[in-house]
Every structure is written in structure tokens, then in C-alpha cells.
Structure 1
Amino acid sequence: MKVALVSLDQVWRDKLANQIQCRSVVEEVKAASSDIDLIVFPELTLTGFCVDDSALAEGDGEQSDTVRFFSELSQHYQCHIMFGQLARLSSGQVVNRQNITDQSGRLISTYDKVHTFSYAGETNYIAQGEQPCVSMIDGIPVGGSICYDLRFAELFHHYRERAAMVINTANWPSTRTAQWLCLLQARAIENQYFVVGVNRVGTDGKGLDYDRSSVIFNPLGERLDPLQQGVLWDLYSINLEDVMAIRTQFPFVKDRRNSLYAQWSKHKNSQ
């Protein structure tokens, strides 16, 4: 599978400016690799991390202008695209959402951020998602996660028997880049699958800076080198057969004691 990670310099609250950037990047990536399978953009792609502005939220699913925009790009350039947005549910609640559109422009999956970032006030504005999400991309099962989710190993362990790759799209500030890289690597090692992290760059509207730290770790926790690079993107080739090969060579999961862990949780809850 060929995957492009886009470290977008998101323009704060400006959907049109970010659309122009995204279209240009997709065109560049497609020119560099005509057989690209998946292009991944950062969290809340067209707005930046503006979770306190409910006016930026759009309708659910294909009612959304953001979804329609990326659907058109996917169809025109014949590739899957993962992107983020604020989506308004029928209940009126707003969620931090990650979407995937396929080569035909069809919206094939949505994942709503399960762990909202209370430290930054996200919990005050954004409803928490309740479900994990595994999408099939050209027959490959891919798990979804967004930024702060990375700190919670339970979600990633859930994906272990269900996905060959898990993608985390983020707006993760440079003051915590070391933690970002460490957590991505740890999730890859402990679950023995590919972990993809896609972060923005530049400075946001609140003055937070972001490093170019988009990366892929293989199931051994080794950082992959990109095949090609552009100003805002990195192109990788991933052999998903490595997942089963590494799990067969190092069958660590058989030593898990799930029934014992369940007893610990039950004992704690009864105290």
C-alpha cells in the first residue's frame, strides 16, 4: 500500500484557504505517485483545532460541504482520502470526526473522537464518540483514532485483532513532540501493527507551534523512511504482510492473561 502523510500548515478557521492547499497537495502527490492508495490529512483538516467555534460544524455525513469537497477530490484523483472535521449530529451535539472517502468519492467510514481533550477545553464543546472504527481500504483493515486518543492504550488494543494499521490524525503541539513519537512507537510495538501519525505544521490561531512530525512505525516499532517527500507531504510504501509475519515470528500476544486482567478490574470496581 502506498500512503501519503500530509503535514498541512492549516490556516486558522479558513476553510477555503485550506481547501486550496489540500487540492494542491493531492495534485502534487498524485503526480509523484500515480498509484497512490491513501492520502491522510491532519485532524480538523479545514479549520485547525477550533473546537470552541460551533459555527464551523457542518451537517452529518454527505450533507457536509467538507465531505463533498474531499469526495470530489477522491473521485477526481482516484484515491482514498482521510480527513477531519467538526460534524453536527441530529441531536445538535458536535463531534470531532475523522472520515474516509474512496476512489469513487463515496464516504466509506466515520470515526468520532472517543477521548476529548479536557486539558484544552475540548470536552466543554465536543461530544465524545462511543465506537471504534475499522475501515477496509483495498481489502486492508485500518483502525481510526484522533490525537488525544493516542494516550489511551485500550482503544489501540481493541484494534489489535481487527486491523493491520491504525492511523492517528492530530494537532499535536511541538512542546509534546517527544511524547507523540514515543506513544506512536509504543502502540506499534505493543500491538504489532503499523501505526501512522499525521500531524499539522506551522503556528495555530492560539499561538501554538507544531513540528513536522508525521511518521509511520512498523510492527516492530521501527520508524520507516519515506520514498519521496514534498514541501508538505511524505510518501511511504507499506507491506501489510509484515504484520502477520512479525506476529508469527514473535507471538507475544499468547502470553496475555486477559481473564486475570478482567478479575483485577472486577475487584477494583467492587471496592
Structure 2
Amino acid sequence: MKPASQARADDRQPAASSLCVAAVQMVSTPRVDENLRTAAARIAEAVALGAELVALPEYFAIMGMSDSDKVGVREHDGSGPIQDFLAASAREHGIWLIGGSLPLSADSPDKVLNSSVAYNPHGQRVARYDKIHLFGFRQGAEAYDESVTIQAGRQPVAFATPFGRVGLSICYDLRFPELYRALGVTELLVVPAAFTETTGRAHWEILLRARAIENQCYVLAVAQGGRHENGRETHGNSMLIDPWGEILDRKLKGPGVVVGTLERDRLDSVRANLPALKHRVM
């Protein structure tokens, strides 16, 4: 696995002592326009609460009636109503905005890239990450195979903010700690997801706290959370976790916003008291 790609040098800023962040939990529908209106209202709510960085969940723009529905609304990289919405929202509110995932054109006409895109407060895109690990699960009548409609990404991605480096990942990636090691040292990991209720109830919180503890950084988990029109139930439980693995805020089910502040002093204290990152030998 290649090292994480970086944001452009001119996006780097002097380190800030704190950063207020928010996770927007949604229960997305098959209708893109409706989901964008919902996202806009929740972004505005997060900004009113002081958020300077806001993240949306996986599939925030569409949770189709079938897996192939997202192929019908896929966009070319850099152009389309979903990407335009994200850029305009970041610029309007003057925030860092991460679109948890949206469907972008892939090599195959019947597949998409499941991509997370990040915009700076000027509305300029600073990073794009294509989901690397594709979910496959079967238990009784419940079955999923993302490889049927999604082309896997290949490159870990992180970008710079005034607070520090932000690493991107999506949902099933959470189960693969080597991806987060490949990102290098980060101050924040953002994990948009649409975890199923079955797997989420068993593993979601445990895995998130483990990623925060082992990487000694904040983790912002941004989930779909409820019963969707296609019958799928997503786990929800969006949360912000600190570098010691403590949960600072969470939203269990339904639409809502999780808000909290990343503190440089807290980050530095954890890393100084237990310098595990410096003790790594592999």
C-alpha cells in the first residue's frame, strides 16, 4: 500500500490550538435532491453550534432502492450537482466540509467509485479518497456484496488543516488497521459509514475506539442511522472520540448532529504520556 497522498503545500496552515468539528447523521432516501436539502439544513445547524469542520455520512446523497441506483446518478470527477453542492456549502459557511461518500464514474460503465471528497473554507476541493475495502457479508437472508457495483480504490489519502492532518476512510475500511498506519501520523480520522445494524451493534464502537487509541488521534465517526426506504437498517451511533479512546459526544439513532472540539493540548498530552507512536518499529 502506498503512503497517503497529501494536500497541496499551499493548503497547509500554522497549527491551531483547537478545532470544532461536527458529524451529520442522516437516514438518506433514494432521492438526491431531498437528501441534499436535508444535508444543507444539518450543515447549517452544525455551523450554528460552532463547527468549523463538518462531515457527512457514507451515501449521504443517495441510499437507493437497489445497489445499482447509485450508478444512475454517478458524477464525473470534479463536476455534478452533488459536488457543486458540497463546494458551495463549504464556501457559503466558510468551513471544511467532507462529503462522506458519493458515486463517481469508474472504469466500468456499471460501477462507481465510492468516494469521499473534502473542501476547504473557500469551496476548493483539497482531497478525494476512493474506498479501498469493499464490504461483503452474508448471514441468513441478509447479504451484501459491494464489489458488484463499486470499483475499489487504491490510495490512502490525508489532507492538511490548520489543526493538523486529517485521514480519510469509509465504512468497511474501519476493519483494516493497516490502512490507518499507511496514513502516517494524523490528528483526526474521519470515518463516514453506513454500517448495518447487525455488524454495527457488534463491532462499530469497539473498532472506532481502537483506531483512536492505537493512532493516538481524534476519530469523527459519521453514520447513517435508521430504517431506510429500501428496508435496510443502518446502525447510526455517530460519535467523536478523543485520543485516549473516550467518547466525547454521540447520536444513537435518527437524524442529528454530533459536535465537539479537538484540543491540541489533549492530543499532545496523550502522545507525551504514552509515546506509542514513537515506539513503533514496523
| TM-score interval, normalised by the smaller of the two chains | 0.7 to 0.9
Deviations 1:76-134 (A, max 9, x none): 11111111200004665520000111211111110000101133110111111000111
Q: Kindly tell me the number of residue pairs found equivalent between the two proteins.
A: 250
Moved more, 86-95 or 122-131: 86-95
Larger % of helix: which?
1
Among the aligned pairs, what percent are the same residue? 27
* 1:154 alignment partner AA: E
Match 1:116 to one of 134, 143, 150: 134
In structure 1, the partner of 2:232 is 208
* Structure 2, unpaired ranges of 5+: 1-18, 138-143
Confirm or deny: 8 A CA contact 1:60 1:90 kept in the other structure.
Answer: no
In structure 2, the partner of 1:3 is 21
Question: Structure 1 residue 42 and structure 2 residue 60: aligned?
Answer: no
In structure 2, the partner of 1:97 is 115
Residues of 2 paired with 1:209 and 1:90: CA distance?
30
Secondary structure of the structure 2 residue equivalent to 1:114: coil
Residues of 2 paired with 1:132 and 1:103: CA distance?
23
Confirm or deny: 8 A CA contact 2:191 2:220 kept in the other structure.
Answer: yes
* Structure 1, unpaired ranges of 5+: 259-271
Residues of 2 paired with 1:253 and 1:102: CA distance?
28
In structure 2, the partner of 1:79 is 95
Residues of 2 paired with 1:253 and 1:109: CA distance?
25
Question: Structure 1 residue 166 and structure 2 residue 189: aligned?
Answer: yes
Match 2:40 to one of 23, 30, 46: 23
Confirm or deny: 8 A CA contact 1:177 1:211 kept in the other structure.
Answer: yes
How far off its partner does 1:240 sit? 3.3
How far off its partner does 1:188 sit? 1.0
Secondary structure of the structure 2 residue equivalent to 1:168: strand
CA change 1:135–1:208 in 2 (3 A) is same
Confirm or deny: 8 A CA contact 1:145 1:167 kept in the other structure.
Answer: yes
CA change 1:241–1:67 in 2 (3 A) is farther
Deviations 1:148-181 (A, max 9, x none): 000111011222x331111110001222234000
Residues of 2 paired with 1:139 and 1:253: CA distance?
19
Confirm or deny: 8 A CA contact 1:118 1:124 kept in the other structure.
Answer: no
| TM-score (ref. length: structure 2) | 0.82
CA change 1:128–1:241 in 2 (3 A) is farther
How far off its partner does 1:31 sit? 2.5
Secondary structure of the structure 2 residue equivalent to 1:30: helix
